[in-house]
Structure 1
Amino acid sequence: MEISKELQIVIDIIKKAGDILLEYYKKDYPVFEKDNKTPVTEADFSSEKFICEELRKNFDYPILSEETVNDKNRLQSEFVWIVDPLDGTKDFISGSGEFTVVIGLSRKQTPFLGAVYRPTTKELYFAETGNGAYLQKYNNEPIRLSVSNVNIFTESKIVSSHFNDEFEKVIEQINPKSKTRVGSVALKACLIAEGKFDAYFYFGSRMSEWDTCASEVIVKEAGGNISDLFGKQRLYNQSDTVRRNGVIISNGLLHDKLIDKFLI
């Protein structure tokens, strides 16, 4: 397995950013509320500061990151880093351990490199377009990822973090084998890429580019698919970074079947 210079640098950065988060984890730290009523912590800011500084030291590409000012000059660039310094802030605060650091690289509005790191378990997911998706635990040899081969709903394992009325309505229709709550969006995607779950869907409009850029590469390189609720593929490095038509992440075999359910 060969990885690019860019990916190796990202792997080094993302692991160190994870260590920064662990310095705050389960300790006292300031928590703030953003304009969209979601929480942000001092840990988010510290992780983001480190990641952005390190990316700028090594690359000339602009950066789109969750907690910094959205510089629209990035729209003129072919390459853009898309970063979530702490995906799953609520889970970080609650102490569930289900949070990640996320770094993706988009070229011509399409993600082609991604890394997702879960600090509490030392699990690193990474992929580059055309080179497969991998999971490295601690410093062990990376293993190649492949999605499940489940193609019927009654055998499927659904993962989500929002067990609301809309979600339960779909669950009632498809009658899956199981439904499980997991925090970070990127973590849910990676667990699908790993074959531990088969699908995730979200109806809301609070998701943004940094929630799916890196994990989109990982899921697709593992054989899965990701789109909005209507099956439309996502473009990145957009002026409006918000995803307003929800998301489906799946093993690919269940993807069109889920879209059909949402279009009814």
Structure 2
Amino acid sequence: MWEEQLKVAIQAGVKAVKPILEVYNSPFDVEIKDDQSPVTLADKTADYIIRKYLFDKFPNYAFLTEESFDDKSRLNNDYVWIIDPVDGTKNFIARNGQFCTHIALAFKHEIVVGVVIVPLTGEIYYASKNKGAFYRHNNVTKRIYVNDKTDNLIVLRSLSHATAREDEVIAKHHDKIIKQEKWGSSLKACRIARGLAELSYRLSEGTKEWDTAVGQIIVEEAGGIFLDPNKKRLTYNRKDTANHDGYVICNRIENFLL
């Protein structure tokens, strides 16, 4: 049902890769937004390119993006593109490569299409409702699945947002968790969807809808779990876009460890 929207979302993301990398590979300025988060020319340029491409193809759909004014008329639209043109701006600034482009489509508060593009490597992760999750690299596409491990777990931590509460939870379950790795942006969700790790936490405020939308559908379509700490599914196109309680990502519900 969502094949055309998925195709267009991938095309929009791919169009933004070149201008993102042009900024990345050149000297650039960093601005600080009102919420104290950083922004660069790459964020702004990619946001414009993606929105224009999507609008040209689906002019009746609304938008919610990190880098644009939040037009609340979206709340009256069943179809809303949710975009983070450069997720992991701090990693972009640090030039460590761990940043992504996010494009998701919400239909009646549920994500039905999600695309993650890793500009530096050309990797693409994507999923659509009830059609599975996929990974494309070097012109090879394969369907991806979470693994079925319930012990000897690898937990993925944020490069820049790890908290003491997460430290406590991981220490509590030291008998099941054997390794911690640090990854940026939605790469944590994507690695769990590929079966390369089993668990990831964000047990604090700070993320918004555009941070979690793509990861949620990719993980779920790969057979995994993406819930808030109260085991409730995240909904989208909300008036308040903040994910106040954070989230837990895991390969199996048995590994929902708190």
**CA deviation vs aligned residue, 1:13-61 (integer Å, no higher than 9, x gap):** 1112122211111421120112222111111001101001111100020
Q: Distance in 2 between matches of 1:255 and 1:236?
A: 25
Task: Kindly indicate whether residue 174 of structure 2 is the aligned counterpart of residue 177 of structure 1.
Answer: no
Q: Matched residues in 1 for 2:165 and 2:26: separation?
A: 35
- Cα contact 1:149–1:253 (8 A) shared by 2: no
Q: Normalized against structure 2, the TM-score is what? A: 0.94
Where in structure 1 are there 5+ consecutive unaligned residues? none
With the length of structure 1 as denominator, give the TM-score of the two structures.
Answer: 0.92
1:89-148 CA distance string (max 9 Å, x none): 0110101101000000011100011100001111100011111100000322x1010001
Once residues 249 and 148 of structure 2 are traced to their aligned partners in structure 1, the CA distance between those partners, rounded to angstroms, is 14
Q: Which residue of 1 aligns with 2:153?
A: 156
- Where does the alignment leave 5 or more consecutive residues of structure 2 unmatched? none
In the other structure, the counterpart of 1:168 is: 167
Query: What amino acid does structure 2 have at the position aligned with 1:157?
Result: I
* Structure-to-structure mapping, 1:32-181, within 5 angstroms: 32-59=31-58, 60-140=60-140, 142-152=141-151, 155-161=152-158, 162-175=161-174, 176-181=177-182
In 1, are the aligned partners of 2:227 and 2:247 still within 8 Å (CA)? yes
My pick for the range that moved more, 126-135 or 13-22, is 13-22
One-letter amino acid of the counterpart of residue 20, structure 2:
L
The answer to whether the Cα contact below 8 Å between 1:225 and 1:255 also exists between their aligned partners in 2 is no
In 2, Cα distance between the equivalents of 1:215 and 1:94?
A: 23
Aligned residues: 253
Contact (CA 8 Å) 1:81, 1:103: kept in 2 or not?
yes
CA RMSD of aligned residues (A): 1.4
Does the 8 Å CA contact 2:91/2:99 hold for their aligned counterparts? yes
> How far apart are residue 253 of structure 1 and its match?
3.5
Q: Contact 2:154 / 2:179 at 8 angstroms: preserved in 1? A: yes
User: Which residue does 2:29 correspond to in 1?
Assistant: 30
| Identical-pair percentage | 34
Summarize deviations over 1:193-240 as a string: whole Å, max 9, x none: 011111111122110000111221111000001111111111100000
Report the alpha carbon displacement of residue 255 of structure 1 after superposing the two structures with TM. Answer: 4.3
